[in-house]
Amino acid sequence: MSIIISDEILVATRMTESEMKQEIAVMLFQKDKLTLGQASRFADMNRIAFQHLLASRQIPVHYDIEDLEKDIENLQEMGII
């Protein structure tokens, strides 16, 4: 699925496409709709950079056993472990 955000919206919000993706990722992470890994990928950021973004906004990282299991599964699928 693709979502198109018009240039008009970007101009109205005074945001770049990258900033908009970060805002959406942060919001979905805060609402527990995306895991940390999913949100960082959505924002096109590495996990550490995304965690720094969250920290700069004083948003706690909620990383639980389910997140760990998903991360291990993803790493196994990618052949990293």
Please tell me the total count of domains within the chain. Answer: 1
pLDDT tens string 5-43: 999 999 999 999 999 999 999 999 999 999 999 999 999
62, pLDDT greater than 80 = no
**Both structure tokens of 61:** 């990282």
Q: What is the pLDDT of residue 14?
A: 97
Range of the domain at 11: 7-77
Contacts of 11 (CB under 8 A, 6+ apart): none
Whole-number average pLDDT of the chain: 92
Rounded distance between C-alpha atoms, residue 67 and residue 69, angstroms: 5
Taking the CA of residue 38 as centre, how many other CA atoms within 13 Å lie in the half-sphere pointing to its CB? 16
**Both structure tokens of 13:** 């919000």
Give the residue from 30, 38, 40 showing the smallest Cα distance to 61: 30
Q: What is the pLDDT of residue 38?
A: 95
53, pLDDT greater than 80 = yes
Query: Is 1 within the bounds of a domain?
Result: no
